[in-house]
Amino acid sequence: MRASKKTLQILDNFWEYCKENQYFNKGYPESASFDYSPLFRFFQFSMNNCGDWRTDSNYALNTFSFEREVIHYFSNLFSLPIEESWGYVTNGGTEGNLFACYIARSLFPTGNLYCSDQTHYSVLKIANLLRINLIEIPSSANGEIRYDLLARSIKEHNDKTPIIFANIGSTMLGAIDNINLIQNALSNLGIPRQNYFLHADAALSGMILPFVDNPNPFNFNDGIDSIAISGHKMIGMPIPCGIVLTRQRFLNTISKHIDYIDSLDHTISGSRNAHSVLMFWYAIQQYSVESWKKRIRHCLNLAKCIESKLNCFNIKTLRNRNSITVAFPKPSENVWKKHCLATTNNWSHLIALPHHQDINCFSGILSDIILDLT
């Protein structure tokens, strides 16, 4: 199939646009420091990871063997024994959150879904799709869920099997809901551990907390039942994708054998992107634990520099512990539109990522923000 000159010219123009704007994102958490060129040859194949990577499939051209290694890697990273874990590579954080809530709904069909007002917008869609009653809990000044109000709401609804959606790095403020305090609140209400489901939405911070010296509670040892992260955020990938992990024993309520592929399927999407599995696998081969620690230290130090720069001009900032997100008062529309800043209510933010070499990468945007807000 040959492309016309007009088609090729359109693509050439878009190529130049992409090169010009590759590193513009300073208000969104997509890392641009990656090189997957060794995988390009595989794009000539139509591959499909339909079904469960643990079982053989009648559809032979898949990357199940790579997905197995990817899931084992993240099971270890999030402190879930391999023999107790199951998960898969998703199309992104929303699918991971949907899968977790789907599991929770199958376990506790009458439970309400509780989240903070800082939770990702996907949760409202998920609650509507699954017809779960969603209860939004106000957050504190730093963006964490109000644990006292969470407990009060569960008690007022006489909820015996609540489903809790915890932010492990909220979208705007990088807030991390305290898993221990959530569990303490449930325990004080007399709700046994086996009677609630606790999901961790760790889209960005899931690849930060495992590599810091003093992490917030966030993993399976800390008591979560599922976790979702994004591949195109801290790891950096050209295709939106993610990982969702949960405990294997929860699959019994949703497992189904599909005869024409001769495999089990527990996933949301059925047919899945086999190429993004290869990217995940390739990415985890490139970085040792020490390499990841170095990358995270760089991002955290850069976030501190951004924070200090704004504070020098008496601009109020908010940066949560172990967060690379620096929030500040929303500037005028011409500034946040010019620099593609994420904004909500009265906040905007900057996010320090591995491809930002130093504070000079932010010089232009910081100058405009400071000029606008002072």
Q: Catalogue the active-site residues.
A: 323
Cα dist from 39 to 96, 274, 276, whole Å:
25, 12, 10
Distance, CA of 243 to CA of 3 (rounded, Å): 36
Distance, CA of 44 to CA of 46 (rounded, Å): 7
Cα dist from 251 to 71, 86, 266, 267, 317, whole Å:
16, 8, 7, 10, 43
Q: Give, as one character, the DSSP assignment of residue 10.
A: H
Distance, CA of 133 to CA of 99 (rounded, Å): 17
Which of 280, 206, 275 is closest to 41 using CA atoms?
275
Q: Give, as one character, the DSSP assignment of residue 262.
A: T
- 343-344 and 263-265: which strand pairing? unpaired
The contacts of residue 71 (CB under 8 Å, 6+ apart) are: 53, 85, 86, 87, 88, 243, 245
Distance, CA of 78 to CA of 92 (rounded, Å): 18
CA-CA-CA-CA dihedral for 246, 269, 133, 144, to nearest 10: 50
Q: CB atoms < 10 A from the CB of 91, how many?
A: 18
Distance, CA of 185 to CA of 148 (rounded, Å): 8
Distance, CA of 199 to CA of 218 (rounded, Å): 10
Which of 100, 58, 133 is closest to 268 using CA atoms?
100
Distance, CA of 220 to CA of 223 (rounded, Å): 5
Q: Give, as one character, the DSSP assignment of residue 113.
A: E
